[in-house]
Amino acid sequence: MKVRFDTPEKPDSVIKLFKDYGLSDAHISDIVKKCPVLLVSNAEKTLWPKLQFFTSIGLSGNDLARIFRVNANILTLSLERSIRPCYDIMKTLEIPEHKVPYFISNYYMFNPKVLSNVPHNTLILRAHQVPEASFPLWVCSHLLALSFDSEKVKTNVEKVISMGFDPSSTTFMKALYVVSVTNAAKWKHKMEFYEKWGWTEDDVLLAFRKNPMFMSFSVKNISAKMDFLLNKMGCQPADLAARPDILTYSLEKRIIPRCSVIRFLQLKGLIVKEDLYIISIVHKNEKWFLERFVIKYEEQAPELQSILQGKMGLAEFGLGFDESG
């Protein structure tokens, strides 16, 4: 979107106002690129009251920069009809202070029509004994599940319970979120997708109960991980279903680098393939992996750090993921 102005008066006043509230030139540049119309806003009458409101609720210049760089359009909303009502509802949700900027920057959730359903729907959760202490933990990331009308929320809650989730468990709200944003057609499509990779229906439900979030990932995203782990690393479909966390990890940043280290050590004869369980190795924390497979062999294989960091690939050594048979 392009904007035109006859004189620089309005843009200059907008830029000055942003700077007065602690935004840097880089911040301002990002903001106006995302929402150019701000440059022709009335700084004093339109923007100043909103900036003043945000600072009055305790947001600093850094907070404002974080919010506006993600959701610059929030400055085009009405203060009285949208921003203030959203904040009033938000206060009732007991959002942790450090999460407030993140919540406000969520362009979908910071909407009075969406938020208006939430307070009543939290009563549904309480009726099903979802722990009060867990509310601040999920309210920012899974609140979308409560943005629908109450009948739909009740239906989704009952569906999640019927799938074996205890409302008091840490996975309940994650499952409710996934079920809420996945319609029947998408769910069926994903079930068929996993069945093609060797999972049974029970495997899918087992995996979903262990880590509901993997079902929120796209088929394209998961397909690449399945192909690599099953076809390149020899993992079994049922083993992946038992540890679905693996499917939520980054293929490029975690799975391939760790498997590259393992494959390099195997092909150099430093470790024995039969002694390894790849899924567990990918799942373990970074400290454990470094100590067990990098630091331990750094004298015999100084290349390992570079391989793990993605600076070197197996192809540079004439090796690959098809070498082990």
What does the pLDDT look like over 19-63, one tens digit per residue?
999 999 999 999 999 999 998 889 999 999 999 999 999 998 899
5: how many CB neighbours lie within 10 A of its CB?
A: 11
76 domain-assigned: yes
Place of tokens 């959203």: 86
Of residues 10 and 297, more confidently modeled: 297
- The confidence score (pLDDT) of residue 103 equals 84
Calculate the average pLDDT of the chain.
89
Q: What tens digit of pLDDT does each residue of 227-273 get?
A: 999 999 989 999 999 999 999 999 999 999 999 999 999 888 998 87
Residue 61 belongs to a domain: yes
Cβ contact 145:139 at 8 Å: no
Structure tokens at 247: 């499917």
Query: Would you state the pLDDT for residue 191?
Result: 95
Contacts (Cβ under 8 Å, ≥6 apart) of 315: none
Tally DSSP H helices, then E strands, for the chain. 19, 0
Q: Sorting pLDDT into bands at 50, 70 and 90, what band is 5?
A: low
Q: Residue 71 domain-assigned?
A: yes
Q: Where are the alpha helices (DSSP H) in the chain?
A: 9-20, 25-34, 48-56, 61-70, 84-91, 100-105, 112-115, 118-127, 135-138, 150-162, 172-181, 184-196, 201-210, 219-226, 237-242, 256-267, 278-283, 286-289, 304-308
Q: Looking at the domain assignment, is residue 22 inside a domain?
A: yes
Given pLDDT bands bounded at 50, 70 and 90, which one contains residue 314? Answer: confident
Domain termination residue (choose one: 115, 148, 171): 115
Indicate the pLDDT class of residue 77, thresholds 50, 70 and 90.
very high
Q: Which among 43, 51, 3 is positioned nearest to 23, based on CA atoms? A: 51
| Number of compact structural domains in the chain | 2
Confidence tier at 7 by pLDDT (50, 70, 90): low
75 in a domain, yes or no?
yes
Whole-number Å distance between alpha carbons of 55 and 78: 17
Give the contacts of 57 (CB within 8 A, at least 6 positions apart).
87, 100
User: Residue 121 pLDDT > 50, yes or no?
Assistant: yes
Residue with tokens 């567990």: 280
Task: Give the whole-angstrom CA distance, residue 61 versus residue 77.
Answer: 20
Burial status of residue 319 (CB atoms within 10 A of its CB: 0-12, 13-18, 19 or more): middle
Residue 236 included in any domain: no
Q: What is the pTM of this model?
A: 0.78
Dihedral angle sign, alpha carbons of residues 265, 267, 268, 270:
positive
Pick from 115, 150, 176: which residue ends a domain? 115
pLDDT at 325: 39
Asked whether residue 177 is domain-assigned, the answer is no
Interatomic CA distance for residues 176 and 184, integer angstroms: 14
- What residue type is 289 in one-letter code? F
pLDDT, position 3: 56
- 292 within some domain: yes
When pLDDT is cut at 50, 70 and 90, the band that residue 324 belongs to is very low
Q: Domain boundary at 115, 144, 165, which?
A: 115
Q: What is the pLDDT of residue 59?
A: 92
CATH number at residue 105: 1.25.70.10
Which two structure tokens, joined as six digits, stand for 113? 């029509």
Indicate whether 138 pLDDT > 80.
no
What Rg, from alpha-carbon coordinates, does the chain have? 25
What residues make up the domain containing 53? 9-115
In the chain, what percentage of residues exceed pLDDT 90?
Answer: 69
User: Minimal CA–CA distance to 197: which of 237, 243, 225, 247?
Assistant: 237
How does residue 274 score in pLDDT terms, banded at 50, 70 and 90?
Answer: low
Q: What is the DSSP letter of 75?
A: G
User: Averaged over 162-187, what is the pLDDT?
Assistant: 94
